[in-house]
Amino acid sequence: MLRSRLLKLSSIAVAQRAVLQSTRSIPARSASYRCFASQHVPVTHKRSFGQPTPFTHPNIMKKGEVTPGIAFEEFETRRRNLMKSMPANSVVVSLGYGTRYMTNNIFYPFHQNTDFWYLCGFNEPNAAMILEKDDSERGYKQTMFVAPKSPSAELWDGPRSGIEGAKEIFGADQAYENTGFTRYLQKVLSSAKSIFMDSPGEQPTLLNEASKKLIETGLKVQTVLPLSKLVQELRMVKSTTEIEIMKKSGLISSKAFVEAMKWTEPGTTEGQLWAKFDFENRVRGSTILAYVPVIAGGPNALSMHYVRNDMELKDGDLVLVDCGGEYNGYASDITRTWPVNGKFTEAQRELYQAVLNVNKSCIKLCTEANTISLHGIHNHSVKIMKKELENIGFNVNSWDLERILYPHHVGHYLGLDVHDLHDLDRSRKLKKNMVITIEPGIYIPFDDKFPAKYQGIGIRIEDNVVIGKDEPFVLTANSPKEVVDIEYCCENK
Ligand code: GLY
Ligand code: MN
Ligand code: MN
């Protein structure tokens, strides 16, 4: 881990290289060792890349795929659609993210900028792509800037796809070391008519360094137009391939909920349940949890973003879990609430059924035929929630309902990001193959203006739904949510 050790170890590296070169004399394995020695990269494969490829991961990828489940043609279509929507001589500068650090030298798991990933599938840090619209047959030129193959860096950080990989796998017409990004950007900025590029904000990207240099050299940056909104428009309606991946993503996360419900008992800690979810998702092929989960026992559920997840689950309480895995790039986002001891009390069941009725009523609206938006579904959810609460004895005004008891929106778009398409508002009419969440919730504080038997209870039921022409498709249907199904699941350990 510590790079400072590198210098001290350089003599060992030289010795290792000598050993490797000597292995070239073994005839039966000469081909693979020749490759090994010529690249000076400690790999176990003939060829190595910075992410799964059909060569290295035939168990999860088919020939022609750039990322698991997504073929080269689909990425090409995405780029082409983007460039087609732009005026002549436009240039797109798409930035990948850099490594982010938890503490000195210790990095977080890498997560790519999803717009960049959507356009090329490249999943290594410190990369960028420039697309220049032209009148070639392809319609644009694709230039990528990537971390080059480097024996010393790869010894520490693992294999990279390098410049050749960027061309061969990711379709670049030309590729350069990422250190050449500023110079190329400078050239492009001085000649292009329209530049589409986003400010990376706090995220580390190649642009941070580049901008400093551009300012130093006094280069006047011409009008830069936002890119992300255009990419988000393309990301709004999912392709058949994306829906297939999201089906699997939803199924994996749903199964994790089944296992977690079976496993919960009084005395289990929120932290243990977090570990259980991590295991049950990743063992089924998720690469990472899509967000820090909420695992909230009893009144901890009253806090929307309770992520400490460090208390013991108590007999008689409910546990609210908001957790989803990411699978082949696509997020799931599920919430279920169940009894720690496996049986709802009467009060818990009444309140739970109220939220479930709202959840089901909203899911029914998730069709193109309904010409409704997420805001429209939200307004419906508030109306139904009020009725449901009145049926069980609440006398609640709209202010209290929408500010205290049910203070969040009924849902959001879902895709590569958990909160997908963040620049597109929720008043758009839902179309076939858009994917959204439906997640009504109720959180009753310890306040005597609300019925005492419900105080301290927090419940949310969140599903992921593909908008259909006339029927919704629920990606998370395998995660139990009916009272009888949850109790059956909890009982059958
Ligand atoms: N898990 C975040 C959300 O439900 O929006
Ligand atoms: Mn959620
Ligand atoms: Mn959500």
Task: Let me know if residue 5 belongs to a domain.
Answer: no
Ligand 1 pocket, mutate which of 304, 323, 417, 462 (most atoms under 8 A from CB): 462
421 plus 482 within the same structural domain: yes
pLDDT score of 468: 98
Distance 185 CA to ligand 1 centre (A): 37
Task: Let me know if residue 16 belongs to a domain.
Answer: no
| Cα separation, 159 vs 179, whole angstroms | 18
Which atom belonging to ligand 1 lies closest to the Cα atom of 290? 1
Which atom belonging to ligand 1 lies closest to the Cα atom of 294? 1
Domain final residue pick, 234, 263, 297: 234
Ligand 1 pocket, mutate which of 291, 294, 305, 406 (most atoms under 8 A from CB): 291
Q: Which ligand approaches the C-alpha of residue 411 most closely?
A: 3
Burial bucket for residue 449 (CB in 10 Å: 0-12, 13-18, 19+): exposed
pLDDT score of 190: 84
- Strand order of the sheet with strand 90-95? 174-177, 140-146, 128-133, 90-95, 194-197, 224-225
Contact 94, 204 (CB under 8 A): no
Task: Let me know if residue 4 belongs to a domain.
Answer: no
Q: Which of 368, 405, 403 is closest to 385 using CA atoms?
A: 405
Q: Which ligand approaches the C-alpha of residue 291 most closely?
A: 1
- Computed on alpha carbons and rounded to an integer, the radius of gyration of the chain in Å comes to 26
Q: Which of 124, 157, 163, 132 is closest to 145 using CA atoms?
A: 163
88 plus 213 within the same structural domain: yes
CA 433 remoteness from chain centre: 18
Task: Let me know if residue 14 belongs to a domain.
Answer: no
195 plus 287 within the same structural domain: no
| Cα separation, 434 vs 415, whole angstroms | 9
Distance 388 CA to ligand 1 centre (A): 23
Which DSSP symbol is given to 369?
Answer: G
- Look at ligand 1, atom 5, and give the residue with the nearest C-alpha: 419
pLDDT in tens, 91-102: 999 999 999 999
Q: Give SS3 for 132.
A: strand
Distance 258 CA to ligand 3 centre (A): 19
Q: What angle do CA 72, 231, 471 make, to 5 degrees?
A: 85
Instruction: Outline where 270-345 has alpha helix (H).
Output: 270-282
Question: Which token pair is 454?
Answer: 């419900």
pLDDT score of 364: 98
Task: Let me know if residue 375 belongs to a domain.
Answer: yes
Q: Which of 352, 350, 351, 290 is closest to 322 using CA atoms?
A: 290
Question: Which token pair is 230?
Answer: 């255009």
Distance 327 CA to ligand 3 centre (A): 16
Tell me the sheet residues that pair with 132.
91, 141
- Total domains in the fold of the chain: 2
| Cα separation, 80 vs 94, whole angstroms | 14
256 plus 212 within the same structural domain: no
Q: Which of 82, 92, 117, 87 is closest to 185 using CA atoms?
A: 92
| Cα separation, 362 vs 373, whole angstroms | 11
Which atom belonging to ligand 1 lies closest to the Cα atom of 324? 1
363 plus 309 within the same structural domain: yes
Distance 316 CA to ligand 3 centre (A): 26
pLDDT score of 241: 98
DSSP string of 44-91? SSSS--SS--TTT-TTT--TTEEETTEEHHHHHHHHHHHHHTS-TTEE
| Cα separation, 68 vs 71, whole angstroms | 8
Distance 22 CA to ligand 1 centre (A): 55
Residue 428's CATH number: 3.90.230.10
Domain final residue pick, 199, 234, 269: 234
pLDDT score of 252: 98
Domain final residue pick, 188, 209, 234: 234
Distance 46 CA to ligand 1 centre (A): 42
252 plus 195 within the same structural domain: no
| Cα separation, 305 vs 57, whole angstroms | 37
244 plus 303 within the same structural domain: yes
130 plus 186 within the same structural domain: yes
In whole angstroms, how far apart are CA 463 and each of 323, 326, 480? 11, 15, 11
Task: Let me know if residue 414 belongs to a domain.
Answer: yes
Pocket of ligand 1 (CB under 6 A): 291, 322, 333, 412, 418, 439, 462
Residue 165's CATH number: 3.40.350.10
34 plus 85 within the same structural domain: yes
Which atom belonging to ligand 1 lies closest to the Cα atom of 293? 1
Distance 303 CA to ligand 2 centre (A): 13
Question: Which token pair is 147?
Answer: 């971390």
pLDDT in tens, 246-291: 999 999 999 999 999 999 999 999 999 999 999 999 999 999 999 9
Task: Let me know if residue 1 belongs to a domain.
Answer: no
260 plus 176 within the same structural domain: no
Which DSSP symbol is given to 402?
Answer: I
pLDDT score of 265: 97
pLDDT score of 491: 92
| Cα separation, 161 vs 24, whole angstroms | 24
Which atom belonging to ligand 1 lies closest to the Cα atom of 460? 4
Intervals of the chain under pLDDT 70:
1-45, 218-222
135 plus 151 within the same structural domain: yes
Task: Let me know if residue 104 belongs to a domain.
Answer: yes
| Cα separation, 184 vs 319, whole angstroms | 54
207 plus 243 within the same structural domain: no
Q: Show the domain range for 114.
A: 26-234
* Terminal CA-CA length for the chain: 41
Ligand 1 pocket, mutate which of 336, 408, 419, 464 (most atoms under 8 A from CB): 419
pLDDT score of 470: 98
